[in-house]
C-alpha cells in the first residue's frame, strides 16, 4: 500500500522512496492587535495550511526521484494528494523541492537522497476566474 500519492507520483517502501516524516501547520485565523490597554485578538481569514514531506530515496533510482519531484514543481499546477487509506487531502501547490545528496561515490552517484517537499493548500474557488484570458 502506498504511503502517499501526489498527483500521479507514488511514495512507498516497495518503490524505495519511503516517507521519513511529515508535518502540517494549520492557521487558526486570528491576528493580535496591540492596543493601549492590552493586546486584542481579532478573527481574520484563516491562512492556508502548510505541509512538509521528507522522503528518502536510495541509490540510482533516487536521482530519478529527485528529477521527477523537481519537474512536478516546475509544472506550477495544483496537485491532488491522497494518503495510503484512500483519503484525499485536496489540492496543494508545490512551493519548493529541496534535494540533499548523501554518500556521493564515484561518478557523482549519490547512495542516499533526501527530498523535502514544501506544500501549500490550494483553496481558490475554481468557479471564479481572476482573469478572462
Distance separating alpha carbons of residues 13 and 57, to the nearest angstrom: 10
Residue 115: give the domain boundaries: 4-24+52-121
With respect to residue 103, please indicate whether it lies within any of the assigned structural domains.
yes
Mean pLDDT of the chain: 84
Q: What is the CATH number of the domain that holds 105?
A: 3.30.1360
Q: Would you say 81 and 50 are in contact if contact means Cβ atoms under 8 Å apart?
A: no
Domain count of the fold of the chain: 1
Please state the rounded mean pLDDT for residues 70-98: 93
C-alpha to C-alpha distances, 66 to 4, 17, 19, 71, nearest whole angstrom: 16, 10, 14, 9
**The pTM is what?**
0.77
Provide CB contacts within 8 A for 66, sequence distance 6+: 57, 97, 99, 113, 115
The grid cell for 84 is 495510503
pLDDT over 60 (residue 80):
yes
Amino acid at each position: 500500500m502506498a504511503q502517499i500519492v501526489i498527483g500521479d507520483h507514488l511514495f512507498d517502501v516497495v518503490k524505495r522512496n519511503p516517507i521519513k516524516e511529515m508535518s502540517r501547520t494549520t492557521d487558526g485565523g486570528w491576528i493580535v492587535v496591540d492596543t493601549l490597554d492590552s493586546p486584542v485578538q481579532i478573527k481574520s481569514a484563516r491562512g492556508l495550511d502548510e505541509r512538509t514531506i521528507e522522503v528518502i530515496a536510495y541509490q540510482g533510482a533516487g536521482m530519478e526521484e529527485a528529477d521527477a519531484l523537481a519537474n512536478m514543481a516546475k509544472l506550477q499546477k495544483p496537485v491532488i494528494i491522497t494518503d495510503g487509506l484512500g483519503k484525499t487531502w485536496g489540492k496543494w501547490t508545490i512551493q519548493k523541492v529541496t534535494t540533499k545528496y548523501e554518500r556521493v561515490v564515484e561518478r557523482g552517484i549519490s547512495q542516499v537522497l533526501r527530498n523535502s517537499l514544501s506544500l501549500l493548500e490550494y483553496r481558490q474557488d475554481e468557479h471564479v476566474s481572476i482573469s478572462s484570458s
